[in-house]
Structure 1
Amino acid sequence: MKRAYRLAASGALAATLIAGGAAAAVAAPASAHTAPSAAQPAAKPALTAQASTGAVKAWQEFRVSGKASGIKAGTTVTLQQKQGAKWVSLPAKVAVNKSLSYSMRVKLGIKGKNALRVVGGGAVSPQFTVTVR
């Protein structure tokens, strides 16, 4: 088994050298898992968020949607509302899809300007506002 691996590795090395990729020839085999280097750090988790409208009637449904980066598909994102000095999670959650976007239906009942944000996967979106009349 070791001999077969060495032959495969040397064959890949020879093919790389013939192709003119001497720099790539000294790299680890493709099957080896390596940590991101300092030159290429892992993408920092980030979320965007926006409401489908800026003003709604109390308990009128609207959508909050956005995009994710540095977050795996399937990660749950949650809508939060600022209540006083605290951010409170609302019962509005959805998973990020394969294209790293999300969209959730929301209803708010607290009248006035509502400061909102989306959190999940170690990221926090910028704050946005929806006014409830």
Structure 2
Amino acid sequence: MISKRRSLRMAVVGTLGAASLALAGTAMAAASPAPHTASTAAEHKAPAVKAAITATPSASSVGAWQLFRVTGKTTGLKAGSAVTLQQKQHGKWVTLPASAPVSHTGSYSLGVKLGLKGKNDLRIVNGTTASPVFNVTVR
């Protein structure tokens, strides 16, 4: 008698499961591949967003050691990760001690003071991702 009850219970559960799938429509069927279909992990990953950074200085010309801001937006970077200012010195990019966290919206704001007089080539970086170069002249 126990095996008949168990069989009946299994049949009811199986019927309810099939009815649930039928009610869910094609969205449920499309979400899970057929059991006989082999799929790779790459097929199920969301498309990767290419990381990018924009940078806009609040002034194009400042006095030596005068505070200005660099603001911008990022895409493909994790909230809380740091963006850092780099300055081109003698043909090489040098990381300056100025960084700011990326907000949950992807924006950042960075306070900067420069002392190297003349035209300064600058960029904002995070790992291998860099903003386009922008210039601030220190007078």
Which TM-score applies when normalising by structure 2?
0.74
Report whether the alignment pairs 1:118 with 2:121: no
Deviation track 1:89-126 (CA, whole Å, cap 9, x = no partner) reads 00101110111100010000111100000001431100
Report whether the alignment pairs 1:28 with 2:46: no
Report whether the alignment pairs 1:102 with 2:111: no
Using a 3 Å threshold, how does the CA distance of structure 1 residues 38 and 127 change in structure 2: closer, same or farther?
Answer: farther
Which of 68, 81, 86 matches 2:87? 81
Shift of 1:35: 4.8
Instruction: Name whichever structure is richer in helix by fraction.
Output: 2
- Which residue number corresponds to residue 23 of structure 2? 18
Using a 3 Å threshold, how does the CA distance of structure 1 residues 58 and 19 change in structure 2: closer, same or farther?
Answer: same
Task: Give me the identity figure in percent.
Answer: 55
1:18 partner SS? helix
Shift of 1:36: 5.1
Which TM-score applies when normalising by structure 1?
0.77
Which of 35, 59, 62 matches 2:65? 59
Larger gyration radius, structure 1 or structure 2: 2
State the alpha-carbon separation in 2 of the partners of residues 20 and 107 from structure 1.
60
Q: Any unmatched runs of 5+ in structure 2?
A: 1-12, 34-39
Q: Which amino acid counterpart does residue 25 of structure 2 have in structure 1?
A: G
